Amino acid sequence: MDGHLSIRWLIACGLAIGSLSGCGLPERSRPLERAVWIERAAWTVTADDERALRLIGPRKIFLKLGDLDVDGDRLRWASDLQPRALPLPSELIFVIGGTERFVERLPQLSEVSLVEQLVALLREAIERAKQVGVSCSGLHLDLPVSESAKQYERVLARVRAQLPRPLTLSATIPIAWEQERIPLDLLRRLDFFVLRVVSDEMPRDLASLRASGDVREIGSWIRRFEQKGVPFYVEGRVQGQCFLLDPEEKIVSALGTIRPLDLLRRFGLRFVESYPLGVAEARMRIPTDFSGEYVVLLEAQATSRVGDRVLRSGDRLVCRLPTARALRRQLEAIEATPGIWKRGYTLWSSGEDLPLTQIAFLVRGGALGPKLEVKGGVQASSLVLRVENVGQQESALMPRAVEVRLRIEGAVVRRIDPGDFAEVVREPTSDQDAAVVHLTFYADGVGVGEVLRAAVKIAPRGANIRIFASSRVRDPDDFVTLSGPEVEILSRSR
């Protein structure tokens, strides 16, 4: 009997040691937990957002509540708090960020005063949420404070001691902190943490601009942080960024999340060039190396104000533009990494790049892509061309990414107004085909739901006018050109 017990005890110990060393079967046998991160304070849920959230099915929703700021030595909220309820059974976690001034001043503040004020502000946020019927299960600190990690660890310990249970306390941990040997005690102050694998570093110049994250390293980062023994989520995040260049192509400053299409349409910037970023190289040459991000170079043609920056003629901007492929590659790398500790992933959404509807479609296995719908009408003897992207994703942003061909029979063209298109080409016709006019409209890109318009003034040549249209659009994720069938968009008889 004693011998059998000894054997059982040895087997049990062996299994335990094997699992802890990563040699045994993973403890996780079900799909990774999903969470959604909403990086928008005072967010109002639309019907589309609610449908998307239900499709994703997040266990937790991280909702940005506000940013901490500092005035002298006193902490305050940078803006008024407006907590909102969510129409889902998911756990709600309030995210608290910090302004640049707060992060810069943090090491100079007294720890005792800092903790006292921080706890008071956190309790105020919880109470204000309760007053409007919103309750949260935890608080999450999203503060880039790696330069004072030791102080941050002591602050977290004191804050944790003063927060009531079962309220959880979590924080964002960038992978760069591991390179600086983040104190293990800091992680152990948390109920869990969110691992940020995308870098927030500002590149030095155009030549050093790379993809914001290296998906090849995600697996090794996950395994490294699993050794800490603290549950965590891995952040799946795509975020566009624009930078101002000087004449030597050095990066002067960051302009935030400004969509390049808005810069082209609203501010009249000129498209210079674009190229896809590879994972291993700045200018991708092998399609399988595509990181899911583009570099787009734009030039101001006149003085204009973009955010808080005044652009003058000749100023150049460079934008790093993500597509759905970037998020898909991140999620594939996260899901492909086995592990023994409880973890999941968060789907980060700012509302500027990939909307929740696109993220939900992607997570559910759908393929995103642009799709053009071409229509025509007559207004004051002019053909009004209307081209809408009814697909699930924007087109690539590159020269002639959008192409619409018109075949006009029984009419002559008097004048062409390109409208939202960058270029119009009239193809030469032979004498035998003189009654047919061929026009091709080109645009450098089209957003989701965006409509491009143009007008063509026509005059009848015969008894009947018939106009046909076909389209082609460049997909941003796999570089193929998607062609639409030729359809009749206008038919008129005298």
- Tell me the per-residue pLDDT of 117-129, one tens digit each, with 9 for 90 and over: 999 999 999 999 9
Query: Using only C-alpha atoms, what is the Rg of the chain?
Result: 28
Question: Among the residues of 336-482, which ranges form H helices?
Answer: 356-363
For residue 288, what pLDDT is reported? Answer: 79
For residue 267, what pLDDT is reported? Answer: 79
Q: What is the average pLDDT across 373-396?
A: 93
Q: What is the average pLDDT across 41-55?
A: 90
Q: What is the average pLDDT across 72-91?
A: 88
Q: Residue 91 and residue 344: Cα distance in Å, rounded?
A: 14
Q: What is the average pLDDT across 176-195?
A: 82
Give 282 or 406, the one with higher predicted confidence.
Answer: 406
Q: What is the average pLDDT across 444-463?
A: 91
For the cut 90, the answer to whether the pLDDT of residue 437 exceeds it is yes
Structure tokens at 244: 């101002």
Q: Above pLDDT 70, what percent of the chain?
A: 89
For residue 179, what pLDDT is reported? Answer: 64
- Strand order through the sheet with 270-278: 251-254, 241-245, 316-322, 290-299, 270-278
For residue 492, what pLDDT is reported? Answer: 84
8 Å CB contact between 43 and 63: yes
Structure tokens at 266: 């609203």
**pLDDT grade, residue 310 (50/70/90)?**
confident
Q: Above pLDDT 90, what percent of the chain?
A: 49
**pLDDT grade, residue 6 (50/70/90)?**
very low
Q: What is the average pLDDT across 143-167?
A: 85
**pLDDT grade, residue 279 (50/70/90)?**
confident
Question: Among the residues of 227-370, which ranges form H helices?
Answer: 260-266, 324-335, 356-363
Residue matched to tokens 């600086």: 180
For residue 29, what pLDDT is reported? Answer: 40
Instruction: Return the closest-CA partner of residue 84 out of 52, 128, 54, 123.
Output: 128
Question: Alpha carbon of 239 to those of 49, 219, 322, 350: distances in Å?
Answer: 19, 21, 6, 8
3-state secondary structure of 140: strand
For residue 457, what pLDDT is reported? Answer: 95
Is 28-238+323-367 CATH 3.20.20.80? yes
For residue 494, what pLDDT is reported? Answer: 67
Phi, psi of 67 (to 5 degrees): -115, 140
For residue 28, what pLDDT is reported? Answer: 39
Residue 307's contacts (CB-CB under 8 Å, 6 or more residues apart) are: 255, 256, 258
8 Å CB contact between 465 and 492: yes
SS3 per residue for 62-121: EEEEEEEEEECCEEEECCCCCCCCCCCCCEEEEEEEECHHHHHHHHHCCHHHHHHHHHHH
Residue 315: CB atoms within 10 Å: 21
For residue 103, what pLDDT is reported? Answer: 85
Give 164 or 7, the one with higher predicted confidence.
Answer: 164
**pLDDT grade, residue 10 (50/70/90)?**
very low
Q: Residue 217 and residue 280: Cα distance in Å, rounded?
A: 12
Handedness of CA 181, 182, 185, 188 (dihedral sign): negative
**pLDDT grade, residue 31 (50/70/90)?**
low
Q: The CATH number of 372-493 is which of 3.40.50.300, 3.10.20.30, 2.30.30.240, 2.60.40.1510?
A: 2.60.40.1510
Q: Residue 301 and residue 416: Cα distance in Å, rounded?
A: 23
Instruction: Return the closest-CA partner of residue 405 out of 307, 489, 317, 339.
Output: 489
Question: Alpha carbon of 103 to those of 106, 120, 151, 256, 352: distances in Å?
Answer: 5, 18, 12, 18, 24
The one-letter amino acid at 428: P
Domain boundaries, the chain: 28-238+323-367, 239-322, 372-493
The one-letter amino acid at 87: P
Q: What is the average pLDDT across 451-470?
A: 92
Question: Alpha carbon of 413 to those of 83, 123, 461, 471: distances in Å?
Answer: 57, 69, 10, 20
Residue 372: CB atoms within 10 Å: 23
Instruction: Return the closest-CA partner of residue 364 out of 59, 75, 53.
Output: 53
Structure tokens at 68: 């901490």
Q: What is the average pLDDT across 77-97?
A: 89
For the cut 90, the answer to whether the pLDDT of residue 20 exceeds it is no
Q: What is the average pLDDT across 220-249?
A: 91
Give 72 or 417, the one with higher predicted confidence.
Answer: 417
Q: What rounded mean pLDDT belongs to the chain?
A: 86
- Report the range of poorest mean pLDDT among 15-19, 52-56, 173-177, 417-421: 15-19
